[in-house]
Amino acid sequence: TDVITHQDKVSIDFSCLYTVPDLTSVSFKIKKSSVVQEIVSGIWNYTLMTNAYIDGEFRTPIGPDTELVLGQEVWVTLMTEGLNDTMVSIVTDSCWATNQPSPNASLRHDLVINRCPNPADQTVSMQGNGLGTFNVFSFNMFQFSGKAGDIYLHCQLVLCPSTCPPTCSRGGRRRRSPRSKRADENPALITMAWNN
């Protein structure tokens, strides 16, 4: 069985009267439209922010009243304040979803693995990763199979000197992205929650 689904499963009950059943849909609402964290990493002190949008131009933020449906594309921006983008870049190292607030929950679905979109989820795409102090990824809304409830999106980010874009391929094989010469002393973890 699949861990996640992008489509709503509908059970249709019928009787000899052939009544038309009511169809239901699954919708999601974001708990906080913006998440902001203060990060200290070696010599760097900066603010990390994440926002979600319903459009790729980032004009329409997803707010607590915005209803999303299964399969709808969502764009998530990760940006910083307080970093000089000529000296350092942020890299989204990994992003994953869990059905519990803990990033270590046993039920998880990977969206970004080793700085690249998960090849097992063809709805994930990335832009600008490792090219400055802003990057974005998108995915289609899903729910865990057989598990209605909240979804927690966790992203781990690292800093690298200058720029360090990963080399990703969408085929079955993924080339390993080169790591920066200096390891980030304190990778940042940020979490965004969605209600179902």
DSSP string, 29-83: EES-SEEEEEEEETTEEEEEEEEEESSTTS-SB--TT--EETT-EEEEEEEEES-
- How sure is the predictor about 24, in pLDDT bands with cuts at 50, 70 and 90? very low
| Average pLDDT score over residue span 92-105 | 95
| Residue 126 in domain | yes
Reduce the DSSP state of residue 21 to 3 states and report it.
Answer: coil
| Residue 98 in domain | yes
| Residue 63 in domain | yes
Distance CA 168, CA 175 (A): 6
Answer left, alpha or beta for residue 6, where phi above 0 means left and psi between -120 and 50 means alpha.
alpha
Q: What CATH number has the domain bearing residue 188?
A: 2.60.40.4100
Q: What is the mean pLDDT of the chain?
A: 83
Minimum mean pLDDT among 29-38, 128-137, 175-184: which range? 175-184
Domain that holds residue 143: 25-167+182-195
| Residue 106 in domain | yes
- Residue 69 predicted with pLDDT over 80: yes
| Residue 7 in domain | no
State how many domains the chain has: 1
**According to the model, what pLDDT value does residue 10 have?**
60
- How sure is the predictor about 64, in pLDDT bands with cuts at 50, 70 and 90? confident
**According to the model, what pLDDT value does residue 177 have?**
45
Task: For 142-174, give one letter per residue: b (16+ CB within 10 A) or e.
Answer: bbbeeeeebbbbbbbbbbbeeebbbebeeeeeb
| Residue 173 in domain | no
Q: What is the pLDDT of residues 145-157, one digit of tens each?
A: 887 788 999 999 9
| Residue 13 in domain | no
**According to the model, what pLDDT value does residue 27 have?**
65
- Residue 183 predicted with pLDDT over 90: no
- How sure is the predictor about 195, in pLDDT bands with cuts at 50, 70 and 90? confident
* pLDDT more than 70, % of the chain: 80
Q: What is the pLDDT of residues 108-137, one digit of tens each?
A: 999 999 999 999 999 999 999 999 999 999
The sign of the torsion formed by the CA atoms of 142, 39, 31, 53 equals negative
Q: Kindly give the pairing relationship between strand 27-30 and strand 68-69.
A: antiparallel
Amino acid at 122: Q
- How sure is the predictor about 184, in pLDDT bands with cuts at 50, 70 and 90? low
Distance CA 60, CA 152 (A): 21
| Residue 176 in domain | no
Please check whether residue 65 is in contact with residue 151, taking contact to mean a CB–CB distance below 8 angstroms.
no
Distance CA 180, CA 89 (A): 10
